[in-house]
Amino acid sequence: MVAISNFLYPQNRYYGEVKPENLVFNANLQEFTQRVGYISALASSGKISVEQAFAQIDKLWQQVEKSKHQLGVGEHPFSD
């Protein structure tokens, strides 16, 4: 039987260069996409306003950008 958390919060396989910071950023990015999907559904069904949805998505995006900067992902793509 499939766990409900796997159904609600699926994780896709990571295909990039396997480094701890890349894996953490990938997890953050997948969480961002899940939350954006939920927020979009709430806005589409009229549970929250479009303005609220935009504000929440913008806040989530700022968190993703902050994590990217803190982890140093993509700063030196050709170095080992």
pLDDT attached to residue 65 = 96
Judged by DSSP in three states, 68 sits in helix
Q: Is residue 43 part of a domain?
A: yes
| Confidence class for position 56, pLDDT limits 50, 70, 90 | very high
Amino acid letter, residue 44: S
Backbone dihedral angles phi then psi of residue 6, each to the nearest 5 degrees: -70, -30
Q: Is residue 24 part of a domain?
A: yes
Per-residue pLDDT for 11 more than 90?
no
Pick the residue with more confidence: 2 or 15?
15
Q: Is residue 36 part of a domain?
A: yes
Q: Is residue 33 part of a domain?
A: yes
Q: Which two tokens stand for residue 54?
A: 């935009």
**Could you tell me the pTM of the whole model?**
0.76
Q: Is residue 12 part of a domain?
A: no
Give the structural domain span for 61.
19-69
Q: Which two tokens stand for residue 61?
A: 């995006």
How many structural domains comprise the chain?
Answer: 1
